[in-house]
Structure 1
Amino acid sequence: MFRLDELVERLGGELVGDATVTVSRVDTLERAGADAISFLANPRYAGQLASTRAAAVIVGARARDATTLTRIVADDPYVYFARVSQLLNPAPRPPAGVAPSADLASVVPETSSVAAGVSIGGGVVLGENVVIGPGCHIDDRVRLGDDTVLHANVTIYADCELGERCIVHSGAVIGADGFGFARERDGSWVKIPQVGRVIVGNDVEIGANTTIDRGTLADTVIGDDVKLDNQIQIAHNVTIGAHTAIAGCVGIAGSTTIGRRCMIGGQAGIIGHLEIVDDVVVSAGTLVTKSIREAGVYTASLPLQSHGDWVRNFAHLRHLDSLADRIRRLEQLLTERPDA
């Protein structure tokens, strides 16, 4: 629970109205009650300011005078809301200590928490205040930075490293073998040992059931402040630059480099050995088949349409080659007979 003047003292912004108003939670304009602070980040919802029951609201400069409610005026209301929500909803942390059923082959700092059923291999280095949830397996020579949290049933293979303040959600697997095979002439496969590592920077969040494969020879590298959603596949030797965010069900093939501050939409696919520069946005469902060398927004998916329209449109697509041939013949005819 915070008074508004306490929030402004911590987070900045301009307070307009009663500084003594106290809030204990955040909520939408539509659902907020007298104990909540809400926010207006999208002008589409400006009409709800008149009817909201929130104790206070967070608004941008343009909406400063759009309501008589007590309000905090911020440069970016959505970011401000996120920081207020962090203050009002601190992540729970279990007490320090090691559960009796944990199997440890390395020293655990007194400040860290190791839950039931955890196994930790030899040569593992844990930072201070690390939390390892139930059923996690930490293989040999793994390093985890200070304040990193592993939720239940995370697996980290040998020699991988995670930085400070990382969050890894349940079922994630970090450091499994990359998909590397050489093919014999008879069609059989020869496995290529995957001897690289996965190196994860600071402040990275990895979603549930996301997999990050170790490198073949060099390392797979995830930069600082990268945010990975659930069920993402990152193949061997991929490099992802700092502050990039990737939505659920994206697949990234091996040896691709993604720049800083990129945003990849859900179910996008990126084939291997490509380079994507900084500040690129890839729309959901897009298949990236060539390198992207200029910042911008890229889309290669079809808009939603009725099934009947889809059938008709794709019937035309089947005949594009013959249509192109006809156009070339007409162009040639016009060139040969300009007066025709």
Structure 2
Amino acid sequence: MENETFYFTLYQDQGHLKYVYFITILLEYVAILFLNISIILTVIKEKSLHEPMYIFISCLSINALYGTTGLFPRLSIDLLSDSHAISRPACFTQIYVIYTYSISELTILAVMAYDRYVAICRPLHYHSVMTARATGLLMAAAAFWPFFWMAFVVYLAARLPLCGRAITRLYCSTWSVARLSCVSTAVNNAFGLFVASTSVFLPSGFILFTYVRILIVCKRSSAEVRGKALQTCLPHIVTFVTYSIALFCDVLLSRYELSPVMNVVALIFSVEFLVVPPVLNPLMYGLTLAEMRKKNPFLMQSPKISVTFK
């Protein structure tokens, strides 16, 4: 069982199109590396950006680099390979990387939402609440939670005896492996539901709660204060909405037998949350936040983008 090999079935019969896909994937990955590394280096270099909001933005970029590393190199190999095989250890490593990335994205967004909540709803207490120690603890908690729980999820999945080796996805996932099991996966499903509830729905609910509170406070404030507050929150809202929709659709569609057309839709959503946010996030934060735009040498020549609210 330790040397068992899985096979991806979706890479077959691509013909010469595989080279087009490969170049597209390569350009996408280079863009992700360039944009996110520029955000990280800018925050590290500029002392004026050593504030919780910008530190959390750099954490989001670090997580993007981590998650896409679990997908793009392997995806590039599979596109050009003739065997489309992946070893059992490599498969579960990919599962762990991609799933910890996906959960970390939500926990980091939850921490960012809390930061904006304190800044807008309790501005006089912001510096006493969001201290360097508190920022470090929030960063550690956002990282520790998904890495801890996903270790158990992957362990339970790795223990399942399997009666098949064909994976009908572009990468390994817990559900694609669990459906190959020779025995009941009730324990895995129950534990997976618990992890999903605490790691996906709980952060999402907290994010929604904080932004409802922020909107209530902004509604009572002056137009100038409301415009500044909403402008700093806009990138967070766009990031959360786009990521949540893609993740929800991927989870929902991956658990059912679908028609050929819906299979294409499911395939798109299965990689969308790993492809779009890592590019969209640094563009949103780098171009819409004035301080970030001015300090980032890679974006200094970009046209000024601003959003005002009346």
- So what's the TM-score if we normalise by structure 1? 0.21
Normalized per residue, which structure has more helix? 2
- So what's the TM-score if we normalise by structure 2? 0.23
Q: Which structure would you say has the larger RCO, counting Cα contacts within 8 Å and 6 or more residues apart?
A: 2
Query: Greater Rg, structure 1 or structure 2?
Result: 1
